[in-house]
Amino acid sequence: MSAEARIKQLGIVLPTTPKPVANYVPFRLHGATLYLSGQGPREADGSLLTGKVGSAVSIEEAYRRARLTGLGLLSAARDALGSLDRVESVVKLLGMVNAEPLFGDHPKVINGCSDLFVEVFGDAGRHARSAVGMGSLPGNISVEIEAILAVRA
Q: Each residue of 65-98: pLDDT tens digit?
A: 999 999 999 999 999 999 999 999 999 999 999 9
Does 21 have pLDDT greater than 90? Answer: no
Domain presence at residue 79: yes
Is the CB of residue 69 less than 8 Å from the CB of residue 138? no
Mapped onto helix, strand or coil, the DSSP state of residue 7 is helix
Domain presence at residue 20: no
Domain presence at residue 138: yes
CATH number for the domain including 85?
A: 3.30.1330.40
Domain presence at residue 17: no
Domain presence at residue 126: yes
pTM equals 0.97
Q: How far apart are CA 79 and CA 27, in angstroms?
A: 9
Shortest CA distance to 132 belongs to which of 101, 83, 100, 95? 95
The whole-number pLDDT of residue 153 equals 82
Fill in the amino acid letter for 26.
P
The whole-number pLDDT of residue 126 equals 98
Domain presence at residue 98: yes
Neighbours of 85 (CB within 10 A): 15
Q: How far apart are CA 119 and CA 98, in angstroms?
A: 25
Domain presence at residue 116: yes
Shortest CA distance to 70 belongs to which of 104, 32, 38? 38
Q: How far apart are CA 63 and CA 57, in angstroms?
A: 10
Domain presence at residue 106: yes
Does 27 have pLDDT greater than 90? Answer: yes
| Structural domain harbouring 114 | 3-11+25-151
Structural domain total, the chain = 1
